[in-house]
Protein backbone atom coordinates (compact mmCIF):
# COMPACT_ATOMS: atom_id res chain seq x y z
CA UNK A 1 0.00 0.00 0.00
CA UNK A 2 1.37 3.43 -0.93
CA UNK A 3 2.30 6.01 1.67
CA UNK A 4 -0.44 8.22 0.25
CA UNK A 5 -3.12 5.55 0.90
CA UNK A 6 -1.81 4.87 4.43
CA UNK A 7 -1.93 8.57 5.20
CA UNK A 8 -5.46 8.73 3.81
CA UNK A 9 -6.64 5.84 6.07
CA UNK A 10 -4.97 7.35 9.14
CA UNK A 11 -6.62 10.65 8.35
CA UNK A 12 -10.04 9.00 8.13
CA UNK A 13 -9.43 7.19 11.48
CA UNK A 14 -8.39 10.42 13.17
CA UNK A 15 -11.45 12.24 11.83
CA UNK A 16 -13.72 9.34 12.96
CA UNK A 17 -12.18 9.31 16.43
CA UNK A 18 -12.55 13.09 16.68
CA UNK A 19 -16.18 12.78 15.60
CA UNK A 20 -16.84 10.10 18.21
CA UNK A 21 -15.30 12.24 20.94
CA UNK A 22 -17.40 15.22 19.89
CA UNK A 23 -20.55 13.06 19.86
CA UNK A 24 -19.82 11.77 23.35
CA UNK A 25 -19.21 15.28 24.62
CA UNK A 26 -22.46 16.49 23.06
CA UNK A 27 -24.34 13.55 24.61
CA UNK A 28 -22.78 14.22 28.03
CA UNK A 29 -23.59 17.91 27.70
CA UNK A 30 -27.22 17.10 26.90
CA UNK A 31 -27.45 14.82 29.95
CA UNK A 32 -25.87 17.55 32.05
CA UNK A 33 -28.38 20.06 30.67
CA UNK A 34 -31.22 17.74 31.72
CA UNK A 35 -29.80 17.59 35.24
CA UNK A 36 -29.48 21.38 35.35
CA UNK A 37 -33.06 21.77 34.11
CA UNK A 38 -34.34 19.44 36.86
CA UNK A 39 -32.35 21.21 39.56
CA UNK A 40 -33.43 24.61 38.17
CA UNK A 41 -37.07 23.54 38.51
CA UNK A 42 -36.58 22.74 42.21
CA UNK A 43 -34.71 26.00 42.79
CA UNK A 44 -37.39 28.01 40.98
CA UNK A 45 -40.16 26.41 43.05
CA UNK A 46 -38.30 27.15 46.28
CA UNK A 47 -37.76 30.75 45.17
CA UNK A 48 -41.47 31.24 44.48
CA UNK A 49 -42.45 29.65 47.81
CA UNK A 50 -39.92 31.79 49.68
CA UNK A 51 -41.05 35.04 48.06
CA UNK A 52 -44.79 34.52 47.50
CA UNK A 53 -46.14 32.05 50.09
CA UNK A 54 -48.83 33.47 52.38
CA UNK A 55 -46.64 33.00 55.47
CA UNK A 56 -42.92 33.55 55.81
CA UNK A 57 -40.92 30.32 55.51
CA UNK A 58 -38.06 29.99 57.98
CA UNK A 59 -34.92 27.98 57.04
CA UNK A 60 -35.96 24.96 59.12
CA UNK A 61 -39.36 24.74 57.46
CA UNK A 62 -37.78 25.25 54.03
CA UNK A 63 -35.41 22.36 54.74
CA UNK A 64 -38.35 20.12 55.67
CA UNK A 65 -40.08 21.14 52.43
CA UNK A 66 -37.08 20.00 50.38
CA UNK A 67 -36.86 16.72 52.32
CA UNK A 68 -40.58 16.12 51.74
CA UNK A 69 -40.11 16.81 48.02
CA UNK A 70 -37.29 14.26 47.88
CA UNK A 71 -39.19 11.58 49.77
CA UNK A 72 -42.39 12.21 47.86
CA UNK A 73 -40.56 11.51 44.62
CA UNK A 74 -38.64 8.51 45.97
CA UNK A 75 -41.86 6.93 47.24
CA UNK A 76 -43.09 6.85 43.65
CA UNK A 77 -40.11 4.66 42.80
CA UNK A 78 -40.79 2.14 45.57
CA UNK A 79 -41.77 2.17 49.27
CA UNK A 80 -38.24 1.35 50.45
CA UNK A 81 -36.21 4.09 48.74
CA UNK A 82 -35.99 7.16 50.95
CA UNK A 83 -33.90 10.15 51.95
CA UNK A 84 -32.66 9.94 55.55
CA UNK A 85 -32.13 13.36 57.12
CA UNK A 86 -29.24 14.00 59.57
CA UNK A 87 -31.29 13.39 62.72
CA UNK A 88 -32.84 10.18 61.38
CA UNK A 89 -29.46 9.05 60.02
CA UNK A 90 -27.96 9.15 63.52
CA UNK A 91 -30.76 6.92 64.80
CA UNK A 92 -30.47 4.64 61.75
CA UNK A 93 -26.74 4.18 62.40
CA UNK A 94 -27.33 3.41 66.09
CA UNK A 95 -29.91 0.74 65.24
CA UNK A 96 -27.62 -0.92 62.70
CA UNK A 97 -24.68 -1.02 65.11
CA UNK A 98 -26.81 -2.32 67.99
CA UNK A 99 -25.32 0.16 70.48
CA UNK A 100 -25.52 3.85 71.37
CA UNK A 101 -24.84 6.33 74.15
CA UNK A 102 -27.84 6.61 76.46
CA UNK A 103 -29.42 5.51 79.72
CA UNK A 104 -31.16 2.27 78.68
CA UNK A 105 -34.93 2.73 78.55
CA UNK A 106 -37.79 1.95 76.19
CA UNK A 107 -40.06 5.01 76.09
CA UNK A 108 -43.33 5.91 74.41
CA UNK A 109 -46.56 7.84 74.78
CA UNK A 110 -48.99 5.81 76.88
CA UNK A 111 -52.60 6.29 75.76
CA UNK A 112 -53.87 4.98 79.06
CA UNK A 113 -51.76 7.61 80.81
CA UNK A 114 -53.27 10.69 79.11
CA UNK A 115 -50.74 10.42 76.30
CA UNK A 116 -47.81 11.39 78.54
CA UNK A 117 -44.22 10.38 77.82
CA UNK A 118 -43.82 7.14 79.78
CA UNK A 119 -41.08 4.62 80.56
CA UNK A 120 -42.25 1.39 78.94
CA UNK A 121 -39.42 -0.56 80.53
CA UNK A 122 -35.87 0.03 81.76
CA UNK A 123 -33.21 -2.26 80.35
CA UNK A 124 -31.66 -4.45 83.02
CA UNK A 125 -28.16 -3.48 84.10
CA UNK A 126 -28.24 -0.04 82.47
CA UNK A 127 -27.81 3.36 84.19
CA UNK A 128 -31.58 3.95 84.15
CA UNK A 129 -32.24 0.61 85.85
CA UNK A 130 -29.54 1.17 88.46
CA UNK A 131 -30.87 4.70 89.14
CA UNK A 132 -34.29 3.38 90.11
CA UNK A 133 -36.23 4.21 86.92
CA UNK A 134 -39.29 1.94 86.76
CA UNK A 135 -41.77 0.82 84.13
CA UNK A 136 -44.75 3.16 84.17
CA UNK A 137 -42.79 6.22 85.28
CA UNK A 138 -44.07 9.39 83.62
CA UNK A 139 -41.25 11.57 82.27
CA UNK A 140 -42.29 15.18 82.88
CA UNK A 141 -38.99 16.91 82.03
CA UNK A 142 -35.65 16.10 80.43
CA UNK A 143 -32.84 18.34 81.69
CA UNK A 144 -35.49 20.82 82.83
CA UNK A 145 -37.28 20.90 79.46
CA UNK A 146 -40.97 20.00 79.61
CA UNK A 147 -42.00 16.94 77.59
CA UNK A 148 -45.53 18.24 77.08
CA UNK A 149 -46.19 18.29 73.34
CA UNK A 150 -42.67 17.00 72.64
CA UNK A 151 -42.16 14.64 69.70
CA UNK A 152 -40.87 11.18 70.61
CA UNK A 153 -37.84 11.61 68.35
CA UNK A 154 -36.92 14.83 70.16
CA UNK A 155 -37.22 13.10 73.54
CA UNK A 156 -34.94 10.29 72.34
CA UNK A 157 -32.36 12.81 71.08
CA UNK A 158 -32.37 14.63 74.44
CA UNK A 159 -32.01 11.42 76.46
CA UNK A 160 -29.28 9.89 74.30
CA UNK A 161 -25.81 11.40 74.19
CA UNK A 162 -22.14 10.82 74.82
CA UNK A 163 -21.28 8.16 77.43
CA UNK A 164 -20.11 9.75 80.68
CA UNK A 165 -22.39 12.78 80.38
CA UNK A 166 -25.25 13.36 82.83
CA UNK A 167 -28.93 13.73 82.01
CA UNK A 168 -31.66 14.57 84.53
CA UNK A 169 -35.15 13.10 84.21
CA UNK A 170 -38.02 14.57 86.20
CA UNK A 171 -40.35 11.62 86.75
CA UNK A 172 -43.53 10.71 88.59
CA UNK A 173 -43.70 7.11 89.69
CA UNK A 174 -46.82 5.13 88.87
CA UNK A 175 -49.33 5.41 91.73
CA UNK A 176 -47.70 8.52 93.19
CA UNK A 177 -48.39 12.25 93.03
CA UNK A 178 -44.84 13.21 93.95
CA UNK A 179 -42.19 14.10 91.35
CA UNK A 180 -38.49 13.39 91.58
CA UNK A 181 -35.39 14.50 89.71
CA UNK A 182 -33.23 11.52 88.80
CA UNK A 183 -29.66 12.20 87.71
CA UNK A 184 -28.37 9.51 85.36
CA UNK A 185 -24.91 9.22 83.80
CA UNK A 186 -25.10 7.98 80.21
CA UNK A 187 -23.21 4.87 79.15
CA UNK A 188 -22.78 2.84 75.97
CA UNK A 189 -26.00 0.86 75.71
CA UNK A 190 -25.95 -2.51 74.02
CA UNK A 191 -29.32 -3.24 72.40
CA UNK A 192 -29.75 -7.03 72.38
CA UNK A 193 -30.98 -8.63 69.15
CA UNK A 194 -31.32 -12.13 70.63
CA UNK A 195 -33.83 -12.69 73.43
CA UNK A 196 -35.48 -15.64 75.13
CA UNK A 197 -39.04 -16.08 76.37
CA UNK A 198 -38.35 -15.23 80.01
CA UNK A 199 -35.38 -14.07 82.06
CA UNK A 200 -33.46 -16.35 84.38
CA UNK A 201 -34.85 -16.49 87.91
CA UNK A 202 -31.50 -15.90 89.58
CA UNK A 203 -30.20 -13.34 87.05
CA UNK A 204 -32.69 -10.97 85.40
CA UNK A 205 -29.93 -9.62 83.16
CA UNK A 206 -29.79 -12.94 81.31
CA UNK A 207 -32.38 -14.80 79.23
CA UNK A 208 -33.28 -18.44 79.79
CA UNK A 209 -33.13 -19.94 76.29
CA UNK A 210 -34.36 -23.41 77.35
CA UNK A 211 -38.13 -23.06 77.06
CA UNK A 212 -39.21 -26.69 77.53
CA UNK A 213 -36.79 -28.23 80.00
CA UNK A 214 -38.51 -31.62 80.03
CA UNK A 215 -38.07 -32.12 76.27
CA UNK A 216 -34.97 -29.90 76.09
CA UNK A 217 -36.42 -27.53 73.52
CA UNK A 218 -34.77 -24.15 73.19
CA UNK A 219 -36.35 -20.85 72.18
CA UNK A 220 -34.43 -17.97 70.54
CA UNK A 221 -36.21 -14.73 69.67
CA UNK A 222 -34.32 -12.73 67.05
CA UNK A 223 -35.65 -9.15 66.92
CA UNK A 224 -33.27 -7.62 64.36
CA UNK A 225 -30.24 -8.43 62.23
CA UNK A 226 -27.80 -5.94 63.74
CA UNK A 227 -23.99 -5.97 63.75
CA UNK A 228 -24.04 -7.92 67.02
CA UNK A 229 -26.78 -10.40 66.08
CA UNK A 230 -24.46 -13.19 64.88
CA UNK A 231 -22.31 -13.04 68.02
CA UNK A 232 -25.42 -13.11 70.21
CA UNK A 233 -26.91 -16.02 68.26
CA UNK A 234 -23.70 -18.02 68.62
CA UNK A 235 -23.72 -17.42 72.39
CA UNK A 236 -27.36 -18.56 72.68
CA UNK A 237 -26.72 -21.73 70.64
CA UNK A 238 -23.58 -22.50 72.66
CA UNK A 239 -25.56 -22.17 75.91
CA UNK A 240 -28.31 -24.45 74.61
CA UNK A 241 -25.82 -27.07 73.41
CA UNK A 242 -24.21 -27.16 76.86
CA UNK A 243 -27.69 -27.88 78.28
CA UNK A 244 -28.23 -30.74 75.81
CA UNK A 245 -30.72 -29.08 73.48
CA UNK A 246 -32.82 -31.46 71.36
CA UNK A 247 -34.96 -28.99 69.42
CA UNK A 248 -34.89 -25.25 68.70
CA UNK A 249 -37.52 -22.59 68.00
CA UNK A 250 -36.31 -19.45 66.20
CA UNK A 251 -38.90 -16.69 66.54
CA UNK A 252 -38.73 -14.14 63.70
CA UNK A 253 -42.22 -12.71 64.13
CA UNK A 254 -42.36 -8.95 63.44
CA UNK A 255 -38.62 -8.91 62.74
CA UNK A 256 -38.21 -6.17 60.07
CA UNK A 257 -34.77 -7.34 58.94
CA UNK A 258 -31.46 -5.53 59.06
CA UNK A 259 -28.03 -6.35 57.68
CA UNK A 260 -27.65 -8.85 54.83
CA UNK A 261 -24.29 -9.91 56.31
CA UNK A 262 -25.96 -10.90 59.60
CA UNK A 263 -28.68 -12.90 57.80
CA UNK A 264 -26.08 -14.85 55.80
CA UNK A 265 -23.89 -15.50 58.87
CA UNK A 266 -26.80 -16.75 60.99
CA UNK A 267 -28.08 -19.02 58.20
CA UNK A 268 -24.55 -20.39 57.94
CA UNK A 269 -24.73 -21.50 61.60
CA UNK A 270 -27.40 -24.04 60.62
CA UNK A 271 -26.12 -25.12 57.17
CA UNK A 272 -22.99 -26.99 56.09
CA UNK A 273 -23.10 -26.11 52.42
CA UNK A 274 -25.23 -24.73 49.61
CA UNK A 275 -26.61 -21.40 48.48
CA UNK A 276 -28.05 -19.07 51.13
CA UNK A 277 -29.15 -16.16 48.95
CA UNK A 278 -28.26 -14.31 45.76
CA UNK A 279 -28.77 -10.68 44.74
CA UNK A 280 -29.50 -9.37 41.24
CA UNK A 281 -29.99 -5.85 39.87
CA UNK A 282 -29.87 -3.70 36.71
CA UNK A 283 -26.48 -2.13 37.44
CA UNK A 284 -25.66 -4.59 40.19
CA UNK A 285 -23.41 -7.54 39.47
CA UNK A 286 -25.04 -10.76 40.67
CA UNK A 287 -23.66 -11.77 44.04
CA UNK A 288 -24.04 -15.17 45.64
CA UNK A 289 -23.67 -16.17 49.28
CA UNK A 290 -23.02 -19.79 50.24
CA UNK A 291 -22.79 -21.75 53.49
CA UNK A 292 -19.44 -23.10 54.71
CA UNK A 293 -18.95 -26.06 56.99
CA UNK A 294 -16.34 -24.21 59.11
CA UNK A 295 -19.01 -21.79 60.34
CA UNK A 296 -21.67 -24.35 61.25
CA UNK A 297 -22.73 -24.75 64.90
CA UNK A 298 -26.03 -26.57 64.65
CA UNK A 299 -26.08 -28.18 61.22
CA UNK A 300 -28.15 -31.12 59.92
CA UNK A 301 -25.62 -33.60 61.36
CA UNK A 302 -26.54 -32.43 64.89
CA UNK A 303 -29.94 -34.09 64.57
CA UNK A 304 -31.55 -31.08 66.27
CA UNK A 305 -34.81 -30.14 64.50
CA UNK A 306 -35.52 -26.43 63.98
CA UNK A 307 -38.85 -24.59 63.77
CA UNK A 308 -38.98 -20.97 62.56
CA UNK A 309 -41.90 -18.72 63.48
CA UNK A 310 -42.89 -15.95 61.05
CA UNK A 311 -45.83 -13.60 60.53
CA UNK A 312 -46.86 -11.04 57.94
CA UNK A 313 -44.45 -8.50 59.46
CA UNK A 314 -41.37 -10.72 59.12
CA UNK A 315 -39.39 -9.06 56.34
CA UNK A 316 -36.12 -8.74 54.45
CA UNK A 317 -33.30 -10.49 56.36
CA UNK A 318 -35.93 -12.54 58.23
CA UNK A 319 -37.12 -13.87 54.89
CA UNK A 320 -33.57 -14.63 53.75
CA UNK A 321 -32.94 -16.78 56.85
CA UNK A 322 -36.36 -18.47 56.68
CA UNK A 323 -36.13 -19.19 52.94
CA UNK A 324 -32.60 -20.56 53.15
CA UNK A 325 -33.39 -23.01 55.96
CA UNK A 326 -36.69 -23.98 54.37
CA UNK A 327 -35.23 -24.62 50.90
CA UNK A 328 -32.47 -26.77 52.39
CA UNK A 329 -35.08 -28.59 54.52
CA UNK A 330 -33.18 -27.56 57.65
CA UNK A 331 -36.21 -25.97 59.31
CA UNK A 332 -39.99 -26.10 59.27
CA UNK A 333 -41.63 -22.70 58.83
CA UNK A 334 -44.69 -22.06 61.05
CA UNK A 335 -47.20 -19.20 61.16
CA UNK A 336 -48.24 -16.79 58.41
CA UNK A 337 -46.87 -15.81 55.03
CA UNK A 338 -44.08 -13.25 55.40
CA UNK A 339 -44.11 -9.62 54.25
CA UNK A 340 -42.35 -10.02 50.91
CA UNK A 341 -39.53 -7.47 51.05
CA UNK A 342 -36.90 -8.96 48.81
CA UNK A 343 -35.25 -5.75 47.66
CA UNK A 344 -31.71 -4.59 48.46
CA UNK A 345 -31.19 -1.00 49.59
CA UNK A 346 -27.79 0.64 49.40
CA UNK A 347 -27.19 3.41 51.92
CA UNK A 348 -25.40 6.16 49.99
CA UNK A 349 -23.84 8.93 52.14
CA UNK A 350 -25.00 12.47 51.33
CA UNK A 351 -24.00 15.94 52.58
CA UNK A 352 -20.48 14.83 53.56
CA UNK A 353 -21.86 11.83 55.45
CA UNK A 354 -24.34 13.67 57.66
CA UNK A 355 -27.38 12.28 55.81
CA UNK A 356 -27.99 9.44 53.37
CA UNK A 357 -29.97 8.20 50.41
CA UNK A 358 -31.37 4.70 50.87
CA UNK A 359 -31.90 3.46 47.31
CA UNK A 360 -33.17 0.13 45.99
CA UNK A 361 -30.43 -1.32 43.76
CA UNK A 362 -31.09 -5.07 43.62
CA UNK A 363 -33.38 -7.91 44.74
CA UNK A 364 -32.96 -11.08 46.81
CA UNK A 365 -33.49 -14.58 45.41
CA UNK A 366 -33.98 -17.80 47.37
CA UNK A 367 -31.64 -20.82 47.06
CA UNK A 368 -34.41 -22.45 45.00
CA UNK A 369 -34.25 -19.54 42.55
CA UNK A 370 -37.68 -18.26 43.55
CA UNK A 371 -38.47 -14.60 44.06
CA UNK A 372 -38.89 -13.09 47.54
CA UNK A 373 -40.04 -9.56 46.69
CA UNK A 374 -43.73 -8.65 46.59
CA UNK A 375 -44.13 -6.07 43.82
CA UNK A 376 -47.03 -3.55 43.85
CA UNK A 377 -48.85 -5.56 41.19
CA UNK A 378 -48.21 -8.93 42.88
CA UNK A 379 -51.20 -11.14 43.64
CA UNK A 380 -51.71 -13.56 46.52
CA UNK A 381 -51.30 -16.43 44.03
CA UNK A 382 -47.92 -15.15 42.82
CA UNK A 383 -44.56 -16.36 44.11
CA UNK A 384 -43.22 -13.99 46.80
CA UNK A 385 -42.22 -14.01 50.45
CA UNK A 386 -41.95 -17.15 52.55
CA UNK A 387 -44.93 -19.41 53.16
CA UNK A 388 -45.27 -21.79 56.11
CA UNK A 389 -44.73 -25.46 55.38
CA UNK A 390 -47.90 -27.31 54.43
CA UNK A 391 -49.90 -28.14 57.53
CA UNK A 392 -48.08 -25.56 59.65
CA UNK A 393 -50.11 -22.49 58.71
CA UNK A 394 -51.51 -20.58 61.70
CA UNK A 395 -53.66 -17.71 60.46
CA UNK A 396 -54.47 -15.04 63.02
CA UNK A 397 -57.16 -12.39 63.10
CA UNK A 398 -56.07 -8.79 63.63
CA UNK A 399 -57.35 -8.80 67.20
CA UNK A 400 -55.45 -12.03 67.93
CA UNK A 401 -52.26 -10.52 66.52
CA UNK A 402 -52.73 -7.42 68.67
CA UNK A 403 -53.41 -9.58 71.73
CA UNK A 404 -50.15 -11.44 71.11
CA UNK A 405 -48.10 -8.24 70.78
CA UNK A 406 -49.58 -6.79 73.98
CA UNK A 407 -48.90 -10.05 75.82
CA UNK A 408 -45.34 -10.23 74.49
CA UNK A 409 -44.58 -6.62 75.40
CA UNK A 410 -46.04 -7.05 78.87
CA UNK A 411 -43.95 -10.20 79.35
CA UNK A 412 -40.77 -8.30 78.53
CA UNK A 413 -41.38 -5.39 80.92
CA UNK A 414 -39.05 -5.10 83.90
CA UNK A 415 -41.47 -3.95 86.57
CA UNK A 416 -39.21 -3.70 89.57
CA UNK A 417 -35.55 -3.07 90.18
CA UNK A 418 -35.21 -5.81 92.80
CA UNK A 419 -37.64 -8.47 94.06
CA UNK A 420 -37.56 -7.01 97.58
CA UNK A 421 -38.75 -3.61 96.29
CA UNK A 422 -42.36 -4.25 95.19
CA UNK A 423 -44.03 -1.63 93.04
CA UNK A 424 -46.92 0.32 94.66
CA UNK A 425 -50.28 -1.02 93.53
CA UNK A 426 -53.17 1.22 92.59
CA UNK A 427 -56.59 0.52 94.01
CA UNK A 428 -60.00 0.47 92.38
CA UNK A 429 -61.29 2.65 95.21
CA UNK A 430 -59.13 5.57 94.08
CA UNK A 431 -60.45 5.20 90.55
CA UNK A 432 -57.00 4.29 89.23
CA UNK A 433 -55.86 1.30 87.29
CA UNK A 434 -55.23 -1.81 89.42
CA UNK A 435 -52.24 -4.13 89.33
CA UNK A 436 -52.34 -7.21 87.08
CA UNK A 437 -53.47 -9.43 89.95
CA UNK A 438 -56.27 -7.06 90.88
CA UNK A 439 -57.70 -6.78 87.37
CA UNK A 440 -61.31 -7.94 87.17
CA UNK A 441 -61.36 -9.00 90.79
CA UNK A 442 -63.57 -12.01 91.28
CA UNK A 443 -63.27 -13.03 87.61
CA UNK A 444 -60.71 -15.58 86.48
CA UNK A 445 -58.22 -13.91 84.16
CA UNK A 446 -58.04 -15.64 80.80
CA UNK A 447 -54.55 -16.94 80.21
CA UNK A 448 -53.10 -16.04 76.81
CA UNK A 449 -52.06 -18.94 74.60
CA UNK A 450 -49.49 -18.34 71.87
CA UNK A 451 -50.98 -20.57 69.18
CA UNK A 452 -48.03 -20.24 66.82
CA UNK A 453 -45.48 -21.18 69.47
CA UNK A 454 -47.65 -24.06 70.66
CA UNK A 455 -47.75 -25.40 67.08
CA UNK A 456 -43.95 -25.30 66.98
CA UNK A 457 -43.61 -27.04 70.34
CA UNK A 458 -46.06 -29.73 69.25
CA UNK A 459 -43.94 -30.43 66.17
CA UNK A 460 -40.61 -30.42 68.02
CA UNK A 461 -41.86 -32.60 70.86
CA UNK A 462 -42.92 -35.19 68.30
CA UNK A 463 -39.48 -35.02 66.65
CA UNK A 464 -37.73 -35.35 70.02
CA UNK A 465 -39.90 -38.37 70.82
CA UNK A 466 -38.77 -40.01 67.56
CA UNK A 467 -35.16 -39.63 68.70
CA UNK A 468 -35.91 -41.57 71.86
CA UNK A 469 -33.66 -41.59 74.86
CA UNK A 470 -30.55 -41.56 72.70
CA UNK A 471 -31.04 -37.89 71.89
CA UNK A 472 -29.58 -36.10 68.87
CA UNK A 473 -26.41 -37.31 67.21
CA UNK A 474 -23.23 -35.91 68.76
CA UNK A 475 -21.65 -33.13 66.72
CA UNK A 476 -18.29 -34.05 65.20
CA UNK A 477 -16.37 -31.17 63.69
CA UNK A 478 -12.90 -31.05 62.29
CA UNK A 479 -10.29 -28.82 63.81
Q: Tell me whether residue 97 is one of the annotated catalytic residues.
A: no
Strands 116-122 and 166-172: unpaired
- Residue 139 confidence (pLDDT): 94
Which is nearest to 370 in space by CA: 357, 355, 385? 385
Q: How many CA atoms lie within 13 A of 450 on its CB side?
A: 20
The whole-angstrom separation of Cα 338 and Cα 244 is 31
Strands 187-190 and 82-84: unpaired
- Residue 304 confidence (pLDDT): 97
The whole-angstrom separation of Cα 3 and Cα 163 is 79
Q: How many CA atoms lie within 13 A of 298 on its CB side?
A: 29
Which residue among the candidates 316, 322, 343, 363 is catalytic per the annotation?
316
Q: Tell me whether residue 341 is one of the annotated catalytic residues.
A: yes
Q: How far is CA 155 from CA 90, 98, 145, 208, in A?
A: 14, 19, 10, 32
CB neighbour class for 83 (10 Å; exposed up to 12, middle 13-18, buried from 19): buried
- Looking at the DSSP assignment, which residues form a beta bridge with residue 183? 168
Which residue among the candidates 141, 341, 387, 455 is catalytic per the annotation?
341
The whole-angstrom separation of Cα 62 and Cα 349 is 22
Which residue among the candidates 327, 338, 355, 455 is catalytic per the annotation?
327
Q: Are 394 and 378 in contact (CB under 8 A)?
A: no
Q: Tell me whether residue 181 is one of the annotated catalytic residues.
A: no
Q: Please name the fold of domain 194-398+453-469.
A: 2-enoyl-CoA Hydratase; Chain A, domain 1 (3.90.226)
- Does the domain at 99-190 match CATH 2.30.42.10? Answer given as yes
- Residue 5 confidence (pLDDT): 52
- Per-10-residue mean pLDDT of the chain, 479 residues long, equals 51 52 55 68 85 88 87 83 84 67 84 74 82 88 92 87 93 87 91 91 89 97 93 97 97 92 97 95 85 94 97 94 98 96 87 89 92 89 95 92 85 62 41 40 69 98 86 50
Span(s) in the chain for CATH 3.90.226.10: 194-398+453-469
Span(s) in the chain for CATH 2.30.42.10: 99-190
Helices 3-52/59-77 angle, 10° precision: 130
The whole-angstrom separation of Cα 375 and Cα 373 is 6
DSSP conformation class of 440: T
Amino acid sequence: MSRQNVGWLLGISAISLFGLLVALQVSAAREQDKDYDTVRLVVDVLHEVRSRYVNEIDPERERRLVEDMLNGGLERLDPHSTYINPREFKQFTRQSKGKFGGIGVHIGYDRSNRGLLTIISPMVGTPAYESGILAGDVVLKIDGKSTEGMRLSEAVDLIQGEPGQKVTLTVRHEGSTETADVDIVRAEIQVPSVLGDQRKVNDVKAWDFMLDKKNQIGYIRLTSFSETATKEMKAAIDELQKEGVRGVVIDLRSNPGGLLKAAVEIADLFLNEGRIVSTKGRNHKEETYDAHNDNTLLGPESGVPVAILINKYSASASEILSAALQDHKRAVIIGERSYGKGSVQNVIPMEHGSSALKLTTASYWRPSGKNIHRFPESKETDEWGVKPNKGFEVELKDEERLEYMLWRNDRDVIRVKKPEQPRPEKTEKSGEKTSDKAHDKGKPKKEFVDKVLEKALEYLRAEVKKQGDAGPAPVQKQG
